[in-house]
Structure 1
Amino acid sequence: MHVLIVDDHAFVCVGLKATLLDEYKGIDVTTTDHGDTALTILARDTIDLVIVDLFMPGAGGGFNFIAMLCESYPNLPVIVLSASENPAHIRKCLDFGAIGFVTKSAPKDALFEAISRALKGEKYVPDSLREAMPDVAKVIDEVDSGASADIISGLMTKRQMDILRHITQGRSNKQIARDLDLSENTVKVHVSAMLRALGLANRTQAGILGQKLGLDEGAEASN
């Protein structure tokens, strides 16, 4: 098995490579810190599995790279490894064609399970997303049925819509408060009001809704 690791942090590449070499016998592991180099390697070598970081600086990473990778190599299992635990980010990667998503905070056994499933052609979805999806409120079903952002935004104030956009992009209340020049307590009040207006139970559901509305487009996130 030949695995390609794509991550802009050298220590992640080194640590992950060592982990894989220790777990799997006879494995080959190639690492690179940029998407363009990854594409060169894929064109040159026979790769059985790609493990790629979600957010890397420049044009060589991010959602566009994941989408392009899955489109160009539809039969190649792609596992996304990221510090992001935003269900919207997870869902988007899976929608693009990634076969699995593993958070960097997860134990190494989660990665091993994702690899095992990927090699069988089975998807690996984090528990956080599996637990969130059954309880997603009716408003999300309405979006899937074609409800527009205008209809959803009509249920909220402009400020609440701004906050929903920030939640979708994975920002905490503290970060939102700084970005919008509000107190953290004011943000909490707006979040609670927004969830009530939309009939949602928590921020996880709000993030899923925002992703479906495309509110994460152009988001800048850190690893």
Structure 2
Amino acid sequence: MISILIVDDHAVVRSGLRMLLEAQENLEVAGEASEGNEAYAMTEEQRPDLVLMDLSMPHGKDGLSATSEIKNKFPETNVLVLTMHDDEEYLFRAIQLGASGCILKNAPHDELIKAIHQVSKGDAYLYPSATKRLMEEYMTKVEKGKEGDRFSLLSDREKEVLALVAKGYSNKETGEKLIISVKTVEAHKANVMEKLQLKTRPELVEYAWKKGLFGYSI
């Protein structure tokens, strides 16, 4: 029997996943969590075989940080990441942090079950198209080599916006967290991209990770 912890900030999604998984003879749901801190605590308590981890959870610790903490403390627990199409740039980072695989949220149910079994056996499961795109972007970034450190050019507010955007927060969610308007968020983000000479969101995510901003206190 494979025990699974479901981590997603939407109760409806968790409920649907629970029904799907519990309908399988050899799968059982060990529990549910709505954000990263809760996921870590429940992993420590329940010791599930696998954590089905959402990446974007705006109202708590994000999935990347939670994956890193869980794998550091409980290396025997496998993590299978759930992601939307717009979150594909986070896939390679999740794998680097110890996730055993990634599956898109719109994948067929039988593909999800297949991924769970594959990861539980110790194998990796990578969604081909997402992996290919991320690998290409990552290698392009590596080939550019190290560029000058322009981080000191950012204001404290711009660093906060950079950290939240890199974690997957939308402009609206970033504005709500920082108590500023969406237009102000967009202006800060544009300034960050210009100052750091970045052109795409994956580049921004990679830069933020190198600077340790996924643990940036806001």
Per the normalisation by structure 1, the TM-score is 0.64
Indicate conservation of the 8 Å contact 2:89/2:134, yes or no. no
The equivalent residue for 1:3 is 3
Indicate conservation of the 8 Å contact 1:2/1:28, yes or no. yes
- 1:2 is aligned with what amino acid? I
The equivalent residue for 1:218 is 216
SS of the equivalent of 1:30 reads: strand
The equivalent residue for 1:170 is 168
Does structure 1 residue 142 correspond to structure 2 residue 145?
A: yes
User: Distance in 1 between the 2:69 and 2:186 partners?
Assistant: 41
Does structure 1 residue 208 correspond to structure 2 residue 210?
A: no
Cα distance change of structure 1 residues 184 and 140 upon mapping to structure 2, 3 Å threshold = farther
The equivalent residue for 1:27 is 27
Cα distance change of structure 1 residues 163 and 217 upon mapping to structure 2, 3 Å threshold = same
User: Distance in 2 between the 1:76 and 1:184 partners?
Assistant: 37
Structure 1 unmatched ranges of 5 or more: none
Cα distance change of structure 1 residues 162 and 133 upon mapping to structure 2, 3 Å threshold = farther
Compute the displacement of 1:131 (Å).
0.4
Compute the displacement of 1:185 (Å).
6.9
The equivalent residue for 2:151 is 153
- 2:28 is aligned with what amino acid? D
RMSD of the alignment, in Å? 4.1
Compute the displacement of 1:17 (Å).
1.9
User: Distance in 2 between the 1:184 and 1:10 partners?
Assistant: 28
The equivalent residue for 1:67 is 68
Compute the displacement of 1:99 (Å).
1.0
The equivalent residue for 2:124 is 123
Indicate conservation of the 8 Å contact 1:77/1:118, yes or no. yes
Relative CO higher for 1 or 2, CA cutoff 8 Å, sep ≥ 6? 1
Larger Rg: 1
Compute the displacement of 1:128 (Å).
3.3
What is the aligned residue count? Answer: 205
Indicate conservation of the 8 Å contact 2:78/2:99, yes or no. yes
Percent identical residues: 24
